Structure 1
Amino acid sequence: MMLLAGIVIRYISLPAPKTFRRYCDFSLVTVEVRPTTISKINTALQMAYLGGLMLSPLIDTGAGRLEYLVAATTVLSGLSYIFSKNAVRIIARK
């Protein structure tokens, strides 16, 4: 979903002429994305979850208990980017 949103937002924010070469020219910045608080929390929980899963063959980390919390914060993080007015800003078109 994030990849698809990135593709669409890049296309919408790209000033004319919209060519494939200009679309792929990442020196032409068209959007500014600021991380939300829930997305930072989500990233920390995802790293803790993955670290716990990697250590689980050696010790009981209890990482399985984080599954639903990580899933919930992932959904909330995505929604925060959709509904937040400050998270994604299209830079003035030239």
Structure 2
Amino acid sequence: MSSIPVEFDPTHISSQSNPDAQMYHAELSSKDPMQSVLKDNPEIYFVPPKRSREWGEWEFKPGSYYDTTIGSKHAYWKDEDLPKATKDIKRLRSDMLKWGYCK
């Protein structure tokens, strides 16, 4: 019996993986994907990194993202199928592609 969980076994991963599915291949192989993201989304405002003692001390811009609650407690997201903690590689990939993160 192997001490490696099945989710990390290379054979299991291969059996659950489509060889043609390379997540973010086009974005990562481009010279500057962030440039096009900013061009197509001018409303994006990056909060400059702050030291821990300065956290929360940034210029407020209406409509910008700031620290918030977890998605399941937010009225807008409460009925969405947000990423959940799982060991299912297909769900993890799906969540990463749909939401930009997985658990």
Question: TM-score under structure 2 normalisation?
Answer: 0.25
Flag the structure with larger Rg.
2
Question: TM-score under structure 1 normalisation?
Answer: 0.27
Structure with greater helix share of residues:
1
| Structure having greater relative contact order (Cα 8 Å, sep ≥ 6) | 1
